[in-house]
Chain A
Amino acid sequence: MKKTLAALVTLAVLFVALPLAAGEIKGKVTCKGLRNNEDALVYVAAIAGKTFPPPPGHVKIDQLNLTFIPHVTAVLVGTTVAFHNSDAVLHNVFSPDSCAGKFNLGTWPKGEERSFTFKQECVATILCKVHPEMEGFVVAVPTPYYAVTKADGAYTIPNVPDGAYTLKVWHPKAKATQKPVTVAGTATADFEISK
């Protein structure tokens, strides 16, 4: 009887506690003056006293049809990004940004890839010297709580623990902004950004 009661209490606690531990932040980013609302990165800023281990695998960015796909990639600091060439032409990847060590990965053919680890917070522009119009962005952020908007501007950041945070927005063509957000289950935060 005691065992059954304990099991029931545990279940009840878990039932109440689990949704709190796995909250989410959702909302919409409106990019004023731009063609659509895609490519806005929304992320939780550094949380005092907390660090997060980078994911074990590589995050992949493809070079396909002379474009970086995706155009904006968010990664946790410490993540290794693999740049894959899917085109039948040579591609190169380099970054002019100091926070990414101004890396230049050389040139490689179709089917091959080269990688780089982003060891600090960084907004890294990624470019291809072979095709000057190609441009993409890797943004290394301090928490694993982030999302990049699609054309409608909607975003959802899942699995955010309850708490008070600073929510930041970055966009390649608009001014960055931020606002405080308190997560208790589901929180909503909308942004309007412009050039």
Chain B
Amino acid sequence: MLKCNKQGQTGETISWVIATLVIIGILIIFLYISSTMAVAKKISIGDLITGLSHNSLVLTEKTAIAHQLAGNKNKEVIDKIILDYDKANK
């Protein structure tokens, strides 16, 4: 019986097996990335507003207008209370 040389075929098969493993590995990595991105689908006000204060811009403006009307009376005390409250509720 005649037999062909099988060494080349074996090498090719191993390449295919490695390729399959690489494909599965890449899929798993992408699956992990998509699941991580899915968790990050929570949109909070902090993502929309940049700046030190967590307090929304509307309320910050209201506070600033009230400070102006009151001639900045007790401004430091009030701003500290607001900042502390913001930190506590962040």
The answer to whether A and B assemble together is no
Task: List A residues at the B interface (Cβ < 8 Å).
Answer: none
Task: List B residues at the A interface (Cβ < 8 Å).
Answer: none
